[in-house]
Structure 1
Amino acid sequence: MSTLESPSEVYYRAYRDYWRKVNESDGFDLENISTPPYYMFKGLLPFDCVSCGYPYPVMVNLYAKVGLHRYNMLKGTNFQLDSLVKFNMLPNCVSSFYISLLAHDPALDPLEKTFQVRVDEQNANCLDFTCSIARLKDEVITKNPMIPHFHGAAVADGFFKGELPDWPSDDSLNDEKRFYLLKESEWQANDWISMYLELRDVLSQLEILEVAIETGIEEVEPPNERLEAKSANVYIKFKGMANVRYFRMIFEIGERVERKAVVRRVLDEDSGYMTLMGKFCGGQGTKKRPRSDS
């Protein structure tokens, strides 16, 4: 340290040096990078998934699968998660995750390949996040400066902008120009549908009862092509969730109660960003209690 440097200058120099080194791997490889020894400093927290325990194991596993889901949709592959290797995360309640994992595509090569997946949460306690990176480790690293927590999202067209839709009426669901009702064999074959539900409740054993997909495009032939749409509203009826916790909403309690959830997927093919948002339908709203003047 130079004798002419103030403590604040030393701190900011260490801060810049740390994030410069983190930026070299887009936040995925922190080995041999020292965190500045300042109690106020918030860098990435590294976790080894192979040799020791780590926090949020179910959620991180699901985020890794989301990244492979995004990669498969863009590349036409079928990579399946084998195991987590490590991940780094911001120490925030709304966090960003930088995940390294092993996966293989049975149709291409039984050998495992290393993937890197980045997920940025947008809101706490709800399904709202963007997967901005999902790639093979040896693919080109992005040239843009790294932002530790990304606040952007996939660019949606007019149909997928704005608030999430409510659950449609029975008559609307029967409109084959607007919706495609999946056969049971189809939602079982497309495991991303159950994954969307698990992202909302990682503990319950959920039973899917009905699935419909809306893409904003009428007269799709064959109708099941909507399953391959990059952007879609997915309507899922299910049971098995004993209690639903949702902001300012009250739901009936019980695992046998039929629940309804809407999940919006927007995959921007230009940027590669994929945003998932979701909500529960069918609850009763609660009003904020007025403040007492007494």
Structure 2
Amino acid sequence: MIENEIYRGPTRDDSIFKRWHSVSIRSITFVNGEAIAECKNSHGPKRGNQGYFKASLDVMISDVYSNGSFKSPSRLFRNFVYGEVRKEYEKEVVECISKESTCPTTLPKDTLLRIFEGIYHNTSVRVCQSEGKEEVIGTPIDRALFKWAIELQAKMNITYNKSDSITLKGPCDKCLPCKKGVKSVPKVEAKGTAVEGKIPSLNGVRIHWKGKPEFILEKCLLDGAGKERILEAIKKMAAKNLICIAICTNSEMNQFVPDEDNRKQWELTCDRLDLLAVFGIQSPRILPKDALEKQAPLDFDEGDDDPSLDYLVDLVDSTICPSISSFEGNMEGTPQVEDELFDLDWSSYPPTLVKSTWQYDYEIALFARIGLHCHNFQKGTNYKFKRLEKCGTHSTRYEDYYITFEATDPTSSSVFSFQTMLGNDYKNLTWGIGLTLASLAARIKATHGTESVDEVWDMAAIDDSYKGPMPKWFSDEALVRDDKKFYVVQESELHENDWLQLLMEVAFYSKTESGVSACKPLEIKKVVVETLEEYTTEAREKLKADNAIFYISYKCIADPSTPWAGEHDAIIRKTMDGKPGHMSLEVAVTKEQIEDRET
């Protein structure tokens, strides 16, 4: 599975391959405490037969350690030597709060023991010997939690060993259900592990959970005031760009444990939980894009059982990216295509050819129009959407859509093929985000060759004012006081800039949670723009700001008996990282969505 261009497997079914594949590691980069290998793979699930991808060595080393030497060809990576992550790049726990205290040293000993038990048994961390020293391997976040636990044990003079408890089952994923009718990898909200204590102070069976705070808090037994206090602390962590992770355990000490023969079907309970702690984890150093720190390449361990793996250690020149047809031994069953991103559907194995259906789909058409608007905004064009041709999908952390459609140029009446890639993210209720739609490619389809797609979002290029929790609706006082920051769009401009209608549709799509198959009749009433970008001559130039917040009041003119009829308000945050085809639209969660989630 690839998340944000970094291969995080092999941890899921979609990282299983049918036979050995040639993979070369050509350089190592240390980013935010994580060892990232830049690799070339002849059969990657994301890049297909075209070359390069990035892989997290930390995750795969952990998997190699726990799964042995991979004697059968079912995993992408067989075995390799790992590089130690330098301390200055490590993630670090800088804040820890619980329902009792903001200082972990004041917590009761039994609470600390349960925290240590959860961290030791419900993370990817392994401790192994290397050159006479103990080395901690695992994901960067899990390493940070583990090292925090070790340091706190020493400070508090509390002893807990992993052998003080035994793992009964886990780690197991707790996922949100996929949208009906959408093929995608379920989104993991938390990981759980059942353990049994073997010392008097940890007697009994517990289920530990670790995951996203907003998900964990919903499952915990907290009163209203306590929950609000924790949520406020999480928002403050998020404002500091800290990664927030919550851990908890079941509140009942005694759990029914199936015998070993039936334990595979045992579903770990995830309700009535006791919150143990919420951690704020800092990435101490974020490297600029051009700061590639290289070390000696890591060679694969050939092993004695298969000398034919010599080719795995071959390195490639970073300037060479061969075409699909130049590869020997193409993926069995994969069609030969011009552009694997837009012509192949990677939601299945092997990938299938996306056929041109020319069928109308409102949701996909909406996504296509977002990409087209991004292109118009950046290039100064006024292309119009005409009709859909085809759409392929790829499920990573997000649902990625590769859309090909026809567009027209009103100035010349020409019709041409256009391509856009759009990432459909999920909610982040902690930050008040109901939906994120990000255009990551928007281009006229090339007739000869393909234009490269840079689908990595550059978060560092976005001003901090447009990160973190979504803003609240503006006040009349703020509108008067900060008139240089706000601009009330004139009525004539509402019709001159038809892309404002598009933003309104995106807001309505988020509100209905993609529950409409066609756009309802919507009428835009008022738009206020907030941006820190200054205008040159006229305030209306704020409409052209790269980064801005749009406050939109609109009306759904539908049958009054339908649930969506009436007046609505929406907040949309638009950001651009400066890359061609890149534009992100974040829609604030509505009161109704919060209430639905709580019920």
Shorter-chain TM range is 0.7 to 0.9
Q: 1:255 aligns with which of 565, 572, 575?
A: 565
Q: CA RMSD of the aligned region, Å?
A: 3.6
Supply the distance in 1 between the matched residues of 2:434 and 2:593 (Cα, whole angstroms): 17
Report deviation, 1:49.
Answer: 3.2
Tell me which residue corresponds to 1:87.
391
1:184 aligns with 2:491: yes
What's the TM-score, normalizing by structure 2? 0.38
Question: Structure 1 residues 13-22 or 120-129, which shifts more?
Answer: 13-22
Tell me: CA distance 1:218–1:117, structure 2 relative to 1, closer, same or farther (3 Å): closer
Report deviation, 1:84.
Answer: 1.3
Tell me which residue corresponds to 2:451.
141
Supply the distance in 1 between the matched residues of 2:413 and 2:20 (Cα, whole angstroms): 47
Supply the distance in 1 between the matched residues of 2:49 and 2:18 (Cα, whole angstroms): 17
Tell me: CA distance 1:45–1:209, structure 2 relative to 1, closer, same or farther (3 Å): farther
Supply the distance in 2 between the matched residues of 1:201 and 1:264 (Cα, whole angstroms): 15
Greater relative contact order, per chain length (Cα 8 Å cut-off, separation 6+): 1
Question: Structure 1 residues 15-24 or 158-167, which shifts more?
Answer: 15-24
Supply the distance in 2 between the matched residues of 1:82 and 1:99 (Cα, whole angstroms): 13
Q: Deviations over 1:125-144 (max 9, x none)?
A: 94202111001111852176
Tell me which residue corresponds to 1:277.
586
Tell me which residue corresponds to 1:4.
none
Unaligned runs of 5+ in 2: 1-15, 23-41, 52-323, 325-338, 428-432, 510-515
Report deviation, 1:42.
Answer: 7.5
SS of equivalent residue, structure 1 residue 49: coil
Q: Aligned pairs, how many? A: 256
1:127 aligns with 2:441: no
Conservation of the 8 A alpha-carbon contact between 1:264 and 1:278: yes
Supply the distance in 2 between the matched residues of 1:42 and 1:153 (Cα, whole angstroms): 31
Matches within 5 A, 1:89-104: 89-90=393-394, 94-104=398-408
1:72 aligns with 2:376: yes
What's the TM-score, normalizing by structure 1? 0.73
Report deviation, 1:87.
Answer: 1.2
Tell me which residue corresponds to 2:250.
none
Tell me: CA distance 1:20–1:45, structure 2 relative to 1, closer, same or farther (3 Å): closer
Supply the distance in 2 between the matched residues of 1:224 and 1:206 (Cα, whole angstroms): 24
Tell me which residue corresponds to 1:10.
18
Tell me which residue corresponds to 1:41.
349
Supply the distance in 1 between the matched residues of 2:584 and 2:426 (Cα, whole angstroms): 12
Q: Deviations over 1:201-243 (max 9, x none)?
A: 344322222100111135653000011111110100122288x
SS of equivalent residue, structure 1 residue 20: coil
Report deviation, 1:186.
Answer: 0.8
Conservation of the 8 A alpha-carbon contact between 2:486 and 2:528: yes
Unaligned runs of 5+ in 1: 1-7, 145-149, 243-252, 290-294
Supply the distance in 2 between the matched residues of 1:118 and 1:143 (Cα, whole angstroms): 9
Supply the distance in 2 between the matched residues of 1:98 and 1:83 (Cα, whole angstroms): 15
The aligned amino acid for 2:342 is F
Tell me: CA distance 1:153–1:281, structure 2 relative to 1, closer, same or farther (3 Å): farther
Question: Structure 1 residues 190-199 or 74-83, which shifts more?
Answer: 190-199
1:222 aligns with 2:250: no
SS of equivalent residue, structure 1 residue 72: helix
Supply the distance in 2 between the matched residues of 1:118 and 1:161 (Cα, whole angstroms): 22
Percentage of matched positions with identical amino acids = 27
Conservation of the 8 A alpha-carbon contact between 1:234 and 1:264: yes
Supply the distance in 2 between the matched residues of 1:197 and 1:44 (Cα, whole angstroms): 35
Tell me which residue corresponds to 2:192.
none
The aligned amino acid for 1:111 is S
Tell me: CA distance 1:151–1:267, structure 2 relative to 1, closer, same or farther (3 Å): closer
Q: Deviations over 1:34-73 (max 9, x none)?
A: x8xxx983746835332xx47xx11110111111111111
Supply the distance in 1 between the matched residues of 2:374 and 2:44 (Cα, whole angstroms): 32
Supply the distance in 2 between the matched residues of 1:284 and 1:17 (Cα, whole angstroms): 38
Report deviation, 1:165.
Answer: 0.7
Conservation of the 8 A alpha-carbon contact between 1:128 and 1:275: yes
Supply the distance in 1 between the matched residues of 2:494 and 2:350 (Cα, whole angstroms): 42
Q: Point out the structure with max Rg over C-alpha.
A: 2
SS of equivalent residue, structure 1 residue 88: strand
The aligned amino acid for 1:135 is R
Q: Deviations over 1:166-186 (max 9, x none)?
A: 101112223421211011221
